[in-house]
Structure 1
C-alpha cells in the first residue's frame, strides 16, 4: 500500500526540480546576483569597511580589494566574532560556529549565520527530491533513515552555539521525517564512536531501514558490525534498503567493498557539504559530477591548482572555467567568508549545467620529486587495479619514501585489504601502470629511473581505525587523507597496525 507521504513526495519533487532548473539554466546571471547581494549586505561590517566594499562595483574591483585567504589569515576577524562582537564578517552575530579539526591551526571555528543555515538544509533535501523526480522511487520515505553523524550536543558561548556541523544539522531534521529518523537522540549524543556504532547496531537491527547516510569509511564500520552480529549481508538484514547517501570522500574506492557487504547494488546520492557551505549534490544518477549550488548565498572563484602557489595567480569565475582542469575552489558566502580558500580542489565534468567532482586537497598531493600526483589519480589507479582482479580494498593512503634503505626512492602505498591479492607485486604493478598513464610527470620519473615503481605495505585489518583512534579522530567527519607529501601519518601509525 502506497502511503500519503510517498504519494505527496513526487509532486513536491517536481516543483523543486523546476525551481532548480531556473537558476541552473541561468548560471552566470545567478552568480552575479549572489555576488551583488553579498557585497551590498556586508558593506557596513568591519570586514566590508576594511576592504572598501562600498566602492566595489565589479568582480574586478573585488579581486583588487580582497585577497584570497585561508583560515589562518582570516582568523583575526573570526576571533572577534567568536567573543561575541557584532557585524564583523556579516551583519549581526553568527548563530553557530561549526568546530572543525584544522591540520595546522588546531580547532577551526567556521561561522554559520541565519542567512546561511537554511541552505545547508535545503540542499540536502533537494538532493533527495531530485533523485525522486528522476527515478520515481519514493517508497523509501516510509521506512527508517539513519544519518551517521556527530553529537548534537552544542555548547553556548557569548550567545552563539558551538558544535560539529553534523551535530548542528541534526537539529534541523524536518518534522515530516522525525518519526523515520534514526538513531535516537540519546544514542546520537554518545561521544565515543565505537560505543555509538554498537548502540546504533542494536537500535537499527529490528527496523525497516530504507536509507543509510554517512561518510563511507564510517558506514563501512557500521555495516561490518551488523554483519559480525548476524552473519548476514546488509541487503538481507534490511530488505528494503535501497538508497545510500554519502559525502566527504570519493565513494568509488569503497564501492566494491560496499556491494559485497550489502550483497546487491543500491542507488546512491553523493553530497558535497562542508562547514563553510553546502556546495554541490548529485542531481542525476547516470551523469558524472555534482550540481554546483549557484543560488545558495555562495559566490565561487577558481584558480588553477598548478598555478595556485604562483605570485600572480589568476582568479576566475564560473564564466571562464573549463572541463577537466584541476582548480582550487575559493568562496565568498553569506556566513561572512570572503575569498576563502577551503583547501579543496575540484574538476568540472560539465558546464551545462555546472557539475564538479572533488579531486583532492590543495595540500594533499605528492610532489617530493616534481610529480604532483593528486588524490583523484591515486584513487583512479586503485580502482583500475581492483577492477581487473577480485581484490577488495578497505582503506589506503600513499606517502613518498625519499630515503629507502636500498635502491631508488618510490611511492609507498599503505593498503588494508579485505581480501589480499594472490600476487602483491603484480597488483602493485597494475596500480603503477595506471598512475603512469594518468600523470606524465610520474611516467617520466619512472622511465627516467629517478623513481622506482611503487611498493605496497600491507596494513592489518582495522589498522586504519586503530590509527584514527590513537590520534583521537575515530568517527564523525574525520577521514584518512588519501595521500600526503611527507611521511607524518605513516610514521605515526602504531606499529601494531602494520603487517610485518
Structure 2
C-alpha cells in the first residue's frame, strides 16, 4: 500500500466517526443548523421581510416563510445578480451556478463562502466512506477522470458565474491534481461531442482507476472508447475500480454499463445539485444515500400527493416515514429559503436517514389521473429488461391522449435499445404488468377501459442524443426527463424517428 493509501485510510476513519456522530443525532443536528441559518440571516433583506428577528421555532418559520420555487424567489435573486449585498445571505455570493430552467430561462443559483465547502466535502466524504468500509485504496494512486462542464467562468457584477461542475473543478485538492484527467484545455472545450472525442484521445492509453459523471454522458465516453479500440472498458483500463455517478437513476443504465465495462466495478451514487450537495452513498451494503443533515441545509418535506393543495403540511426530518414519496424543500447557507428543489425523494432508512430520488414533482404523467412517477417507470423498465434480457440505452414516456386510430388513449414509451429486441410484445407486457402492480390508479384506468396498454416506440441509435443536441442540452449536467405530461418531447422524437 502506498503512503497516499495509508494516509487515506487514517483520514477516512476519522471522517467516518464525525459523520456517524451527527447521523446518530439527526433531530438535534437539524435544530442546530436551523438556528444558525436564522441567526445569520436576520439582518438580510429576506430576513427582515420575513420577520426572522422573531422566529424562535420551526413553527414560526413555517408561518412566516412560504414554499417557493425559483420563479417565486426570482425577485430576490435578481437583486443579488445586480450586485446588491445582504439580500438572501450576508454579503455577496462567491459564485452563481448558472443552469437552464424550463420556465424561467437561465437560473442563477448563489454559492456562498459558507455553502461552497459543503459541496467539496460531501464529494470527498463519499469516497472516504467507501475506503473506510471496504479498506480499498489502490485507486487513489491511479488516474481519475471527472466528466464535467467547462471550468471557464465569466464575471457578473463582481460575482463569478459558471456551471456547477466547472466551478467545482477549481477546488480539486492538490494531491489529486497529478492524477486528474482530462487536461485543463480539454475540459474547457464547450462543444460536448468534440470534448468527449478529445477526452478519448487523452485517456485511451491511460490506466483509469476512477471515472465519474452523469451516466448517459459517461456511456457516450465508453462507447467512443470501445469504437476506437474494440475492447471493453475493463480490458482497456485494467485498474478501473470505482465508478462515481449521480444526476439520474442508474438502474436503467446498469445492463448497458455492465456490457460496456465487462467486469464488476464498485459504484458510489451521489446526489449533487447547484442548490446543494444533498446526499451520497455511504455504504456498499445499504440501499439509498445518506442525507447530509450537517451541511448548512435545513430540510422540510411535503407528501407529493398533497403538494399541490393550498396549504400542504410541511414536515421536518423527525416526522418522515420510509417509502413515502416526498417533495424536498431546503433552506440553506447560500440563501435559499423553503425552496422547492423540484425533486421527490423516498426514505429507505430513518436510522440513519437515507434517501433515493424518486423523480421530479413536475415530471409525471397524470393526463388521466394516474399520477405515474419516475420511480415507477424506472422500476418497470428495469424489470422488463431483466426478464427479457434486452439492454436499454435510454427512454422517456409521454401520454398519447388523441391517438390517430381513434381508439383508447395510452402511454407511449420511447426507448432506444443497445440491440434491437427480439420480442417487443413480451417486453411491453412485462413493463405494463410492473407498472400496474406499482400504481393502482393506472391499473384501475386499464381495467376500466379508460386507457389501453402502453405502446413502445423504438428510437434509433443516438436518437436521444440528437434530440438533446437539437435543444442545446447535449452533455454537461443536462438530463433527459423520464416523464412528461404533454407531447413536447414525444413530438420532437417522432420527427427524428420519421426522418
Alignment deviations for residues 62-108 of structure 1 (CA, whole Å, 9 cap, x no partner) = 00000000000000000000011010000000010000010111110
Separation (CA, whole Å) in 1 of partners of 2:220 and 2:295: 33
Q: Does the CA contact (< 8 Å) of 2:207 and 2:236 recur in 1?
A: no
Q: Which residue of 2 aligns with 1:425?
A: 425
Distance 1:327 1:248 in 2: 18
Residue 54, structure 1, aligned to residue 53, structure 2: yes
- Which residue number in structure 2 is paired with residue 402 of structure 1? 401
Q: Which runs of 5+ in 2 are unaligned?
A: none
What is residue 440 of structure 1 aligned with on the other side?
A: 440
Moved over 6 A (4+): none
1:47, distance to aligned residue in structure 2 (A): 0.2
| Secondary structure class of the residue paired with 1:398 | strand
Residues 1:413 and 2:413 aligned together? yes
Number of the residue aligned with 1:318: 317
**Cα distance in 2 for residues equivalent to 1:116 and 1:221:** 32
The Cα of 1:264 is off from its aligned counterpart by 1.1
Q: Is the 8 A contact 1:459 1:499 kept in 2?
A: no
The answer as to 2:7 corresponding to 1:36 is: no
Against the structure 1 CA distance between its residues 477 and 25, is the aligned structure 2 distance closer, same or farther, given a 3 Å change threshold?
same
State yes or no: 1:460 paired with 2:460: yes
Q: For each residue in 1:1-20, what CA deviation from the matched residue of structure 2 results, as whole angstroms up to 9, or x when unmatched? A: x2110111111100000010
Contact 1:210 1:240 (8 Å CA) reproduced: yes
- Paired residues in the alignment total 498
Distance in 2 (alpha carbons) for counterparts of 1:207 and 1:294: 38
Q: How big is the shift at 1:419?
A: 1.6
Q: Which residue of 2 aligns with 1:13?
A: 12
Q: CA deviation at 1:390?
A: 1.5
Q: Matches of residues 78-477 of structure 1 in structure 2 within 5 Å?
A: 78-406=77-405, 407-477=407-477
User: For 1:492 and 1:408, how far apart are their aligned partners in 2?
Assistant: 23
Counterpart-to-counterpart distance in 2, 1:366 and 1:376? 12
TM-score normalised by structure 1 residue count: 0.99
Conservation of the 8 A alpha-carbon contact between 1:458 and 1:499: no
Structure 1 residue 267, shift from structure 2 partner: 0.3
User: Where does the alignment leave 5 or more consecutive residues of structure 1 unmatched?
Assistant: none
**In the superposition, relative to structure 1, how do residues 494 and 200 fare at CA in structure 2: closer, same or farther (>3 Å)?**
farther
Determine the C-alpha separation between the residues in 2 that align with 1:141 and 1:349.
Answer: 30
- C-alpha spacing 1:499/1:284, structure 2 compared with 1 (3 Å): farther
- Aligned equivalents of 1:451, 1:421: Cα separation in 2: 25
Q: Deviations over 1:9-40 (max 9, x none)?
A: 11110000001001000000000000000000
Aligned CA RMSD, in angstroms, stands at: 0.8
Alignment check: 8 A CA contact 1:215 1:248 kept? yes
Task: Report the Cα distance in structure 1 between the residues aligned to 2:289 and 2:360, rounded to whole angstroms.
Answer: 17
Aligned position for 1:481:
481
TM-score, L = length of structure 2: 0.99
* CA displacement at 1:190 relative to structure 2: 0.1
CA deviation map 1:264-314 (0-9, x unaligned): 110000000000000000001121100000000000000000000001200
From the superposition, tell whether residues 263 and 499 of structure 1 become closer, same or farther in structure 2 (CA, over 3 Å).
farther
Does the 8 Å contact 1:127/1:281 carry over to 2? yes
2: CA distance, partners of 1:200 / 1:72? 37
Equivalent residues of 1:299, 1:332 under 8 A apart: yes
CA deviations on 1:192-234 (whole Å, 9 max, x unpaired) are 0000000000000111200000000000000000000000000
